[in-house]
Structure 1
Amino acid sequence: MSTKLEGKSVQEWIEEYPLLHKLIKMDEVLWVNPHYNAKNKNTNLSISNISEAAERLQRFAPYIETVFPETKNTNGIIESPLVEINKMKKAMEQAYQLDIHGTLLLKCDNDLPISGSIKARGGIYEVLKHAEELALEHGMLKTSDSYKIFASPDFRQFFSQYKIAVGSTGNLGLSIGIMSAELGFKVTVHMSADAKQWKKDLLRSKGVNVIEYPSDYSKAVEEGRKQAEADPNCYFIDDENSKDLFLGYAVAASRLKKQLEEMDITVDEKHPLFVYLPCGVGGGPGGITFGLKMEFGEHVHCFFAEPTHSPCFLIGQMTGLQDKVSVFDFGLDNRTDADGLAVGRSSSFVGKTIGNMLSGCFTIQDQRLYNFLRELADQENIFLEPSALAGFFGPIQLASQKEGEKYLTNQKLQTNMDNATHLVWATGGSMVPEEMMKEYYRRGVHDNVE
């Protein structure tokens, strides 16, 4: 740890940000963002960009419904249920000896059709946008056409001339691989060492070219980018810098608003909404946070969850270094069973775009992920992959840590917590093979981690 970071030694950074001591020791922490609600000059994105993305997904709905019959009940819209998990809430309160004031909900992106994770939002959206642009450019499509024509042999033949590439720890690769292959693209997914074997096998079964790397996520992205730059017919989906991925995720917010209204759940000054989002490079949770802030403004409070071995977004935000710093710079190993969160360096684009919208970040040990996994299965019969459980620690940290209490006081929320809604965003799980899920379950225990 002798490297200089932006002109300062690691020790100087630690002295400036004492929380780094705990992060280096891989302790679980809660960090509250001191720049929350500050003015942001780093984005030119607005709600109109999100509306444009939503309209594009609506145009593609007839095609989606045609080629993915599991979306028939939502008329080709890729969306997930929102459910109250009161039994889980009671179990958490008992295990941690505290009260979680308000309602506890689960946003079940683990059940999103097509690829079974949150990445079905951004990943699929960017592939569809690219396909639409190519079809319009070559005179094969008018936006007034029924997009069912994308399912025709002519379109599949047309797209077979083009390639798509992406670097992934797993779920983004699944969403992009499955969608691109269905349209007819030749697609390559560059997979990091953390990616689960079953995800690679599933992609290969769909005709996707999977290239494996012994190193981490950043290397997979770098290699994917290089391949695309060398081939004019290859389109690279850049998880670190893509506005299209970001906007695909952001569409979730207006749909969530409608679901909350259908459940008679109010979000306003006296009824705050807390959302806990697992975070890797930042694109998925960042896009959703952006969308939620456009819908609910100051009445929604978003917290990102990261493994203790991979808190790249927290470190990037806290120090202001963004992607100029890696967890490796502070001696962390980026090794976690939460494969979608195994990222050593965060997205600067996302960090700068939502830097003033994010309430804070917290970290969680791998064993605690398995404990939540088992508890949720027993209490609610819902099975998630380990990374998707990270958000469950959010309500507990907010209620038990001094930093959480200070945040609630500063935001004048203390008197309204009985009316609060806590929403944990479940990011994946429905496509995990049964034997692997049983193994995950076996690793969980019912008491909290010391």
Structure 2
Amino acid sequence: MDTTRNAALEEWMAEHGHSSNSLAEAVNQALMQVTGKHGGLDGSSVRDWKAGRVRWPKTATRKALEDVTCVPVTALGFVPRHRPLPIPSPMPQEVSDMKRRNFVGGIAAAVAMASTARGTARRRLGMSDVDRLQQRFAEIVASDHRHGGQLDIEQRASALADQALNLQNSGGATQRVRSSLYASAAAFRSSAMWASIDGRRFEAAKTHMREAQALAEMSGEQAIKFRIWSHAGTLYRHTGRPADAFAANDVARNMHLTRRDPLFASLGLARQGAIHGAAQDPAGARRAFGQAQDAMLRADPADDRPVWMLAFYDQAELDSLALSAYLALGDFATAEFHGHRCLSTLRPHMVRSHAITTTRLAHAQLAQGMPEAATATALKVPVDAATQHVRVTRMLQEFGAALRATAAGSSAVQTWAEHVATWRTPA
């Protein structure tokens, strides 16, 4: 028996990110659609295909394979049993030349036909296309952490969401690839949503939110659904709608993902604590942050998580959310504690978060009657963040007004006025 390995099938599986087990399950699901019965295939069945031990699966299985892969099974390296490759036998010299020409000509014609078919067929989309989009998504996330809230980040993320959707229509793909493309589009749209929230462009954020939610549903991916609904909670918190903020954040917190991964549970609880702060509920805030801390301690750092989660959520972010909540509650000493702890562990790439936390810390210190210490803290905010990030600019303007109101005539007021005068108005 010929057991030449099926290289075409192996290449297709590698390109589309399938293991033997996942392909077997996909074909079983397709068989259910074709025959009404589960196929009963497992990883060993696919390994037999790859090894060449099974060269021509059963009719229903072949149909299911074509439904899953969107290509003929012969293009996947399977060979019909009734079409063995011809083996030329010895020929008399007087006829061998003619037959050899016919044989070679037939092969050439077949190759030409196959080449033409490949040229006219729609492009096959694979996980490599998804990987390229994921690289662009990582770049968007990095830009957000450096600059945050900028209109160009929102616009780039929106354009990449459209690019991911256009890719859906550029060729055939498996359901796995299509779901991943929808998840990528949802991820880009959620980044556009976040940039809008951070830049205080709330109407644009609502539009991005609705589109992101629809795309996430089509993807079926829990992590991106969590991100979008968690962002929705933040949007409503910033727009003074705590009831809606709780409702949106609860959608994220009640996903199965949060029961499987304590880090997602921790983020949902920390954002819940920030909403309790905005709603003037100190007991709720303390309870939520305590539970968020416990969940974070249970989380396994080795677990596989999406790039957006790995890039920002850690102890520093938990403390940043607590700083925001206790500042809103008027518990300025506790807010200052979390501000210092956040800055001590904040990762270098979190430039935007560093500016926001420093500004909030200055507010907490000023509210405790420490204008000199507060001014010294506020002076540490980089000029580009102070003048180009909408949230930071607004908070520093409020800081200056509060400083003049509570410490009029002090050296701190003069120092701050001289510092602000050096800022160049952004273009």
Q: TM-score, normalised by structure 1?
A: 0.28
Greater Cα radius of gyration, structure 1 or 2: 2
Higher helix proportion = 2
